[in-house]
Amino acid sequence: MTATADQEIGKARLRKEDARLITGRTRWTDNFVLNGMLHLAITRSPVAHATITNIDTAAAKSMPGVLAVYTGADLADEQGSLPCAWAITPDMKAPPAPALATGTVNFAGEAVAVVLARTAYEAADAAAAIDVDYAELPVVLDMPTAIKDGADLVHPDLGTNVSAVWAFDSGEAGTGGDVEQAIADAEVLIERTYRQQRLVPAFMEPRSVVVDPTGEQYTMWSATQIPHVLRLMLALTLGVPEHKIRVIAPDVGGGFGGKLQVTPEEVITFLVARRHGKPVKYTESRTESVQSGHHGRDQIQKLTLAARRDGTVTGLKVELLADMGAYLRLVTPGVPILGAFMFNAIYKFPAYKFVCTNVFTNKTPTDAYRGAGRPEATFAIERLMDELASELGMDPMAVRERNWIKHEEFPFTTVCGIVYDSGNYEAATAKATELFDYEGLRTEQAKRRETADPVQLGIGISTFTEMCGIAPSRVLGSLNYGAGGWEHAAIRMLPSGKVEVVTGSSAHGQGHETAWSQVVADQLGVPFEDIEVIHGDTQSSPRGLDTYGSRSLTVGAIAVVKAAERVVAKARPFAAHLLECAESDLDFANGKFTVRGTETATTIQDVALAVFTAHNLPDGAEPSLDSEATYDPENFSFPHGTHLCAAEVDTETGAVQIRSYVCVDDVGTVVNPLIVDGQVHGGLAQGIAQALYEEAVHDESGTLTTATFADYLLPSAVDLPSFTTGRTETPATTNPLGVKGVGEAGTIASTPAVVNAIVDAVRHLGVSDIEMPCSPQRVWRAIQAASAATNGGAK
């Protein structure tokens, strides 16, 4: 048996996962076929707000292959209320959230009835034959209107459309000054209102669920990010003993927060399977996915930035309206709170206040979408810094530098009371500006302005940080979140020297199998190829808190490290026994226990075999190296970076073309540069898509008019540029690997970089804002409006 000598961490290992995925040997939930399996189809509300006056299921019931039809009334006694795990305030208003509507529907796409049939085609036919009568109610869509006195109500029983108001004030918290005073004393005030449009997570694999009620446990396969949380929540929601439920997340085709949910469809499938005693499958269509799967963002941000004329920011006030949609899903109310501590970003603001009003509307519920709260915060502050620079006639990078935390000032406690452990904004910025040719592009920009070129050039900056690796359990507790933030791992040394690593964090594209193998290879000194990573099944991976918030490496992989350390510690007395020396005389490196100062050695794999046979072990020793660990992080991780975007704007058509995009990200120690670059690329694509393309649009009746990929503009390869990525490495000081999260960084950083570039291109024409997505029409209109204003309406 050989031990690897060179370090695995930092290697651009090709992924283990690929072998199956590129050949079609996949295990998507919709692939599962069980004996006697039946199929579900769901009838959904076409209206946004109505009382259900009648449901006629007679025709559907008589159709070929149909076994049963259920309405909300049929499941009302069993279905409970879909869980919300984050009561952000003690008096938060949370309406009952039935899986299958009972009495009223509150958004278009809400499930109203369900058909069980022998085939999926038969189920779909019958679902279309269900006749539902609706008495329509007033539709609540606009947040500012919804919070006015006398407004129509989404949930009349609550008496208001406001779910909760949550505030943080640095003056009251003792973490900073009084923001109202800062505003009163300001030499410059920048007041802006920005809108974060509604987005669709749009994972490529539609959600699918299979429930097998045969056997001692109910087994659920689901296209979910959260098998462990889902199991617990099903138990709590349905009153089924937790140990009688097994949840498996097999291959999962992307999530981006969109599969961080306990869905109506999972509950319905579970209940119908239980009732019939047969395996049942439900797979959504894309339209159902876009209507019923939760959406992201949808905030209105009212911002007040106070500063001195030298560019020093003296305070920031943030007043948010956050659209919950019709119901509170798993972490819906907490999403804005995840951004609350990030508006101050990389800057040393002395005073800060944040007030968020969570509002119900008759729309699809919102919840986590890649970045969850932090993209909104980053967009707001990075746009404001550009506006401040413009107001003061300063270079936008200079304004940022004046305010950002200097490298030598880390660790730094922010105005929110959060401790940033490490960072080097100077280094990332220096590298990015060099890769970008910042000065050269500014020169070209000046020339184009001078010559009144119809195609103008703009430069957008985003010097971002974010808090991820969610999260220290104690912090989550203080925010009244319903669970902790630890992660679990177990390691088993097999007799043949192979290693099984069990992780509670389950991948859906992130490459855990490869990255965890690299981490374990270094810890145990066993070959990368000899390591198998097991995840995504509550039976084989019994403990975990799953995958979201860029937490897998910074929390999950640290649990793996801790478990590996315990394997080595357990192996040590056995190695000493086998080598006939004292434990204190042994060194462990590269998979080998060596008697110090000699060539006498044994590998950890040999020790594993000796422990398996147990023929010759110390008296009374337990014959096992198996170890596990649960790791609770002491802090978040704070990746950062400098993103620079050059955009060409055709002032005659409003068309935007990204000419170059450079980002230098600092995610601490890099385990696998290939995977890190891939995460950044994908993150950028989603952030750029928010800036330029995507928006979930409801018409005045509350119908989602972008419920297909023909209408919701998911960017294709021609819609995106090639990115230049660079890195600086400032290791985290709060975990033993020095790693920081990377999964959300690109999405968080890129949106303001793009919008800043567009605004910069046309600012000299009088434009200071363009609402997202910056479609050609919106850009053109902004230019026209500005030109009309500057010409006194003469145009």
Contacts with another protein by CB under 8 A lie at: 13-26, 28, 30-31, 121, 202-206, 251-254, 256, 285-287, 508-511, 528-529, 674-675, 677-679, 681-686, 708-710, 714, 716-718, 720, 722-723
In the bound state with another protein, the residue whose beta carbon lies nearer, of 219 and 679, is: 679
Contacts 24+ apart (CB under 8 A), 432-436: 432/641, 432/642, 432/643, 432/644, 432/662, 432/663, 432/664, 432/726, 433/397, 433/642, 433/644, 435/662, 435/664, 435/724, 435/726, 436/644, 436/646, 436/660, 436/662, 436/724
Give the tokens for residue 290.
Answer: 């876009």
In the bound state with another protein, the residue whose beta carbon lies nearer, of 109 and 315, is: 109
In the bound state with another protein, the residue whose beta carbon lies nearer, of 19 and 398, is: 19
Residue 690 neighbours by CB under 8 Å, 6+ apart: 197, 199, 297, 375, 747, 751, 772, 773
In the bound state with another protein, the residue whose beta carbon lies nearer, of 356 and 499, is: 499
CA 665 to centroid of chain Cα atoms: 18
Smallest distance, Å, CB 16 to another protein? 7
In the bound state with another protein, the residue whose beta carbon lies nearer, of 405 and 691, is: 691
Q: Are strands 38-44 and 280-283 parallel, antiparallel or unpaired?
A: parallel
In the bound state with another protein, the residue whose beta carbon lies nearer, of 104 and 679, is: 679
In the bound state with another protein, the residue whose beta carbon lies nearer, of 121 and 569, is: 121
In the bound state with another protein, the residue whose beta carbon lies nearer, of 683 and 738, is: 683
Q: What is the DSSP secondary-structure string of 82-95?
A: ----B--STT----
Longest dimension (CA), the chain: 97
Smallest distance, Å, CB 47 to another protein? 21
Ordered strands of the 50-56 beta sheet: 104-105, 50-56, 131-136
Q: Are 255 and 289 in contact (CB under 8 A)?
A: no
Smallest distance, Å, CB 324 to another protein? 25
Which letter does DSSP use for residue 215 in this model? Answer: S
Q: Are 378 and 464 in contact (CB under 8 A)?
A: yes
Q: What is the DSSP secondary-structure string of 729-744?
A: ----SSSTT-B---TT
Smallest distance, Å, CB 674 to another protein? 5
DSSP, collapsed to helix, strand or coil, labels residue 382 as: helix
Residue 159 neighbours by CB under 8 Å, 6+ apart: 153
Distance between terminal CA atoms of the chain?
81
Residue 719 neighbours by CB under 8 Å, 6+ apart: 689, 692, 693, 713
Which of 712, 325, 735 is closest to 550 using CA atoms?
Answer: 735
Smallest distance, Å, CB 25 to another protein? 7
Beta bridge partners of 207: none
Smallest distance, Å, CB 682 to another protein? 5
Smallest distance, Å, CB 124 to another protein? 11
In the bound state with another protein, the residue whose beta carbon lies nearer, of 158 and 674, is: 674
DSSP, collapsed to helix, strand or coil, labels residue 358 as: strand
In the bound state with another protein, the residue whose beta carbon lies nearer, of 423 and 639, is: 639
Smallest distance, Å, CB 119 to another protein? 8
Smallest distance, Å, CB 199 to another protein? 12
Smallest distance, Å, CB 726 to another protein? 14
Which of 417, 422, 423 is closest to 341 using CA atoms?
Answer: 417
Residue 619 neighbours by CB under 8 Å, 6+ apart: none
Cα(493)–Cα(512) distance, integer angstroms = 19
Smallest distance, Å, CB 641 to another protein? 16
In the bound state with another protein, the residue whose beta carbon lies nearer, of 203 and 631, is: 203
Q: Are 146 and 41 in contact (CB under 8 A)?
A: no
In the bound state with another protein, the residue whose beta carbon lies nearer, of 206 and 504, is: 206
Smallest distance, Å, CB 224 to another protein? 13
Phi-psi region of 275 (alpha: psi -120 to 50; beta: other; left: phi over 0): alpha
- Residue type (1 letter), 739: V
In the bound state with another protein, the residue whose beta carbon lies nearer, of 386 and 648, is: 648
In the bound state with another protein, the residue whose beta carbon lies nearer, of 164 and 675, is: 675
Smallest distance, Å, CB 719 to another protein? 9
In degrees and rounded to multiples of 5, residue 266 shows phi and psi of -65, -45
In the bound state with another protein, the residue whose beta carbon lies nearer, of 402 and 535, is: 535
Give the tokens for residue 689.
Answer: 């898509």
Q: Are 227 and 248 in contact (CB under 8 A)?
A: yes
- Residue type (1 letter), 553: L
Q: Are 330 and 233 in contact (CB under 8 A)?
A: yes
In the bound state with another protein, the residue whose beta carbon lies nearer, of 207 and 562, is: 207
Cα(455)–Cα(463) distance, integer angstroms = 26
Smallest distance, Å, CB 65 to another protein? 12
- Residue type (1 letter), 388: L
In the bound state with another protein, the residue whose beta carbon lies nearer, of 423 and 746, is: 746
What torsion do the CA atoms of 137, 143, 145, 151 make, to the nearest 10 degrees?
A: 40
Smallest distance, Å, CB 727 to another protein? 16
Kindly report the length of the chain.
Answer: 795
Smallest distance, Å, CB 320 to another protein? 27
Smallest distance, Å, CB 508 to another protein? 6
Cα(305)–Cα(316) distance, integer angstroms = 5
Q: Is the dihedral of CA 256, 259, 261, 263 positive or negative?
A: positive
Report which secondary-structure segment, H or E, holds 378: helix 374-392
Smallest distance, Å, CB 23 to another protein? 6
DSSP, collapsed to helix, strand or coil, labels residue 699 as: coil
In the bound state with another protein, the residue whose beta carbon lies nearer, of 281 and 374, is: 281
